[in-house]
Chains A and B, each alone.
Chain A
Amino acid sequence: MVSHKLVNRLMPAMKITLWCSFSIACIIYGLREHAHLFVRVQQIIDNPSQWERQQLRVGGIVVEQSIRQTSAGIRFSVRDHLNKDPRAVTVHYAGIPPALFKEGKAMVANGQFKKGQFIASEILAKHDENYQIPEMTQHARNPN
C-alpha cells in the first residue's frame, strides 16, 4: 500500500519535528524565565517604571556604610559605576553575600525591581583584582 510506505517515510520527519519543537519550547520557556537584562543603576534611576517586575541584572558600586543586616537578610544601596552620581538604588537580598562583597566595591545582583526596591535573588562580586565583569567593560567602552 502506498499510504503505508508514505507513513513510514514521514514518521522519522514527524518524530524529528516533534522532538525539536519540544526542545525548543523548553529552551524558550527557560530563556524567558532566566535571561536577565543587564542594566546600570543610572538607567533604573532615570526611568524606574520601565524596569518594574522585569528580570534584571544590576551592576554598580556598593555605597559606603550602607550595608545593614535585617531580620530577613541584608539591605544596601548601589550607585552607578561609571559616573559620580550620588543617587542610589536600595537592594534587598535574603541570603549570605559572596566573599568579595564589600562597601565601595563593584557588585552585580540578579533579581527584580519592585516598588522602588531591587529584590535580589543572587549577588555576585568580582573575584579577582584584575577581573572585570564583562558587561561593565562593555558599558565602559560605549557608555550609551
Chain B
Amino acid sequence: MLAILISELGRTALITCGAILCSAFVLCEQRANRSESETAIIVNSYCASSLLSVIAIMMLTIGFIQNDFGLHTVWANSHTRLPIQFRLFNIIGSPQGSWLLWTSFTLINLTYVLKFLQRKNIRIDMRSTTLTAIGFCLFSIIMASPFQRIIPIAPDNGIDLNPLLQDPGFLIHPPCLYLGSSALIVPFMLASNHMNNKRQHILTKLTKQWALWSWGWLTLGITLGSWWAYRELGWGGWWFWDPVENAALMPWLSCTALIHACSIREDNRFWMLVTSATAFIVNILGLFITRSGLLVSVHGFAIDPNKGIVLAFMLGVSSIYAITTIRQSRTQDLVSSRWRQPQNTLLAMTLIIAVGTLYPMANAWWSEMPLVIGAGYFEQVLMPFSILLLWSITKQINQLGIRSYILVSVIAGSATMITHWFYAQIINTTQAGILVTLFILYYVATMHIIGLIKCRPQRSMLCAHMLIIMIAIAILCNRYYERVSLLTTVPGTTAKSQDWSIHVGMPIQKLKSNHSREVYPIRMTYRQHLVSELYPEIRTYKPRGTKKSVTAIGGSVLADHYVNIHKGETGELTVRIYYKPLQRLFWMFGCLLGILGILQAVRPEKQHVHSKKHNGDRTRLDGMLAVFTNECSNH
C-alpha cells in the first residue's frame, strides 16, 4: 500500500511539474515586455517545477530501494538480489528513469540561470525554452512514464539490471553526460536573445560560462564512458564509433566550437548563435539516436517506434526554430565575423560524424540493401580536419611570441626518441610517419608548457590546448604501439606466444549476492620477467542467466596490460593479452580537461579591467580587426 502511495506521489509530482511549466508558458506568451513581478512568478514556477522533478526522482529511487516490482520500470531493471549501490542509482540504468533525470537536470540548469538573470535584471524571451522544457516533461509523463504500474498483480521479482551495466563506471558516466548535455539549452537560449538585448556583454560572458560548464561535464562524461567501455566490453578498445558514442561526441564538438566562438571575439554574435544552435540540435539528435530504437547499439535503449516518431517531431520543431533564429541575425554580423577560426573545423567535424551516424538509417528509406559504415570512415575523414585544428592551436601559440625554436625542437626531439626507444623494444618496427607526427605533437606541447611558464594571460586556454595535445599523443602511442596476442590454454598450465608467456592457475569460485565468480589467477611473463599477476573473472548472473567476462587490467602509467578470458564449451580458455601504451594517461588527461572546464565555468567573475590587461595580445588583435572591419564597411 505504502509502495503504491509513494509511486503515485511521484507521478503526481511529475504531472504537477508539467502543469506549472504550462502555466508559466502562458505567462511568457501573454506579454513579451513583462513586469518584474511577472518575471518573478516565472522564475518561481521554474523553481517549483525543478523541485517537483527532484521529488519524482526521489520517489522512483525509493521504489528501486524498496523493490516495488509493481512499477514497470523497477520490474524491468531490478531484482531482489541486485546490490544496494546499483539499486540506489538504478534510475540511470532504466530508459524511463534516465529521461526523468534528464528533464530534472534541464529544469535545474534553467532555474539557476533564470535566478541569475533576475538578479542582474535582464529580461529575455523565455517562450521557446519553456516550450522545450514542457516537451521534455510531457514526454516523461506520457511516452516514457517511470511510474507505470503493472496491473493487476505485481510480480514477485524483477528481471535484473543488464549485467554489462553492473559496474561502477556505469554509475558515474551517464549523470555527467546528462548534466552536460541538458545544460546546452542555456547557451542557445542566451544566444538567441543576444541580438536585441542592450546588456550584451553580460549575456556573452554568461553564454561562455554555461558553454564551459556543459563542455566540462560532457568531457568528463565521455572520458568516463569510454573508461567503462574499455573495462566492461572486453574488446580491448575504448572508442568504437558506435552511434551512441557519436551522439555524445557531436554535442561535445559543437560545444567546443561554441566556446571558441564566445572567446575569440566578444561580439561574435553570428557564430555564437550558429554554434549554440548546432549544439542544441545535435543534442536532441543524440536523444533521438539513443532512444528511438532505430539504431541498435551497445547502449541501445528502448525499442518503441512511437517514441521515435515523437522524438523526430521534437527534433524537427527545434531545428526549424533554430534555423529561423539564425535567419534573424543581420547580414552585417555575418560579414564582420571572422572566418578562419576553429569553430568552422569543429562544426564540419560534427557534420561528418552526423552523416556517418545517420547515413545507414537514411539509406534504409531508399534502398533495400542495409548499409554499414565502418570506423575507417570516421578516422579517415576526420584526419584532415584534426590537422587543421592542430594548425589553429599552433597559430594561437605563435601569437604569444615564443621564439626559442631550437630549445623546443631539442626537447621535442628527445621526447620523441625516448618514447620510441621505450616502445620499440616491444614492437621492433619503425614508421617514419609516426615519428614525425609524434615530434610535431611534442613540439606543440612543449611550446604550450613554455607558454604556461612565461606568460600569465590565457593560462586556462593554454592549459586546455596542452591537455588536448597530450591526449592526442596518448592516443597516437596507444594506437601504434599496441600489441595483441591470443593464447589458448587450459587452467593449470602455461602457454607461450612469441615473447609473452602466461600461467593460468586453477579457478577460484566466489559467490556474490546476484552472481557467481570464477576467478582465474594469471601470471604474465615477458621474456622471462614477471610482468604482472592479474585476476580476470567469468561471472554468471543468476537472475538473467547470462555470463560476463570481466577483464583484469594491470601494468603502469606507461602501459596497461589488459587480459580478457573466454571459456569454451570443452573447458579450454582463450586468453587475449593486450599491451596498451599510455592508456591511463589518456583517462587522466581527459578527466583533468573536464574538471578544468567545470572549474573555469564556476570561477567567480573577474573585474573587467583586470581581464583586459591580461588579454593584451588578444585585445590588440581585436582592435586591429575592428579597424579593418570598419574600413571595409566604409568602402
Contact A30-B381, Cβ < 8 Å, known A12-B337, A98-B235, A134-B295: yes
Stretch at the interface among B47-55, B370-378, B413-421: B370-378
State whether B635 touches A102 (Cβ < 8 A).
Answer: no
| Interface residue ranges of B540-557 to A (CB < 8 Å) | 546-547, 549
Residues of A within 8 A of B373 (CB): 31, 34-36
State whether B384 touches A38 (Cβ < 8 A).
Answer: no
State whether A1 touches B635 (Cβ < 8 A).
Answer: yes
Within the complex, the shortest CB–CB distance from B164 to chain A, in Å, comes to 7
Residues of B within 8 A of A5 (CB): 635
A interface footprint on B316-347 (CB within 8 Å = 1, 0 otherwise): 00000000000000010011010100001000
Contact A96-B372, Cβ < 8 Å, known A30-B380, A34-B377: no
Number of A interface residues in the complex (CB < 8 A): 41
Within the complex, the shortest CB–CB distance from A35 to chain B, in Å, comes to 5
Q: Which of A1, A12, A30 has the most CB of B within 10 A?
A: A30
| Interface residue ranges of B179-207 to A (CB < 8 Å) | none
Tell me, yes or no, whether A57 is within 8 Å of chain B by CB.
yes
Within the complex, the shortest CB–CB distance from A32 to chain B, in Å, comes to 10
State whether B359 touches A19 (Cβ < 8 A).
Answer: no
Residues of A within 8 A of B378 (CB): 30
Tell me, yes or no, whether A122 is within 8 Å of chain B by CB.
yes
Residues of A within 8 A of B372 (CB): 35-38, 57, 110, 135
B interface footprint on A86-105 (CB within 8 Å = 1, 0 otherwise): 00000000001011101000
B interface footprint on A17-60 (CB within 8 Å = 1, 0 otherwise): 00100110011011101111111000000000000000001000
Residues of B within 8 A of A135 (CB): 370, 372
Tell me, yes or no, whether A127 is within 8 Å of chain B by CB.
yes
A137 CA / B568 CA spacing, docked (Å): 26
Tell me, yes or no, whether B486 is within 8 Å of chain A by CB.
yes
Number of B interface residues in the complex (CB < 8 A): 46
10 interchain residue pairs of minimum CB distance:
A34-B377, A30-B381, A134-B296, A38-B370, A23-B348, A135-B370, A34-B376, A30-B377, A99-B566, A4-B635
Residues of B within 8 A of A138 (CB): 370
State whether A8 touches B335 (Cβ < 8 A).
Answer: yes
| Interface residue ranges of B553-607 to A (CB < 8 Å) | 564, 566, 568, 574, 576
A35 CA / B373 CA spacing, docked (Å): 4
A38 CA / B373 CA spacing, docked (Å): 10
State whether A12 touches B334 (Cβ < 8 A).
Answer: yes
Residues of B within 8 A of A26 (CB): 352, 381, 384-385
A interface footprint on B194-233 (CB within 8 Å = 1, 0 otherwise): 0000000000000000000000000000000000000001
State whether B381 touches A27 (Cβ < 8 A).
Answer: yes
Residues of A within 8 A of B374 (CB): 34-36, 110, 122
Nearest residue, chain B, Cβ from A135: B370
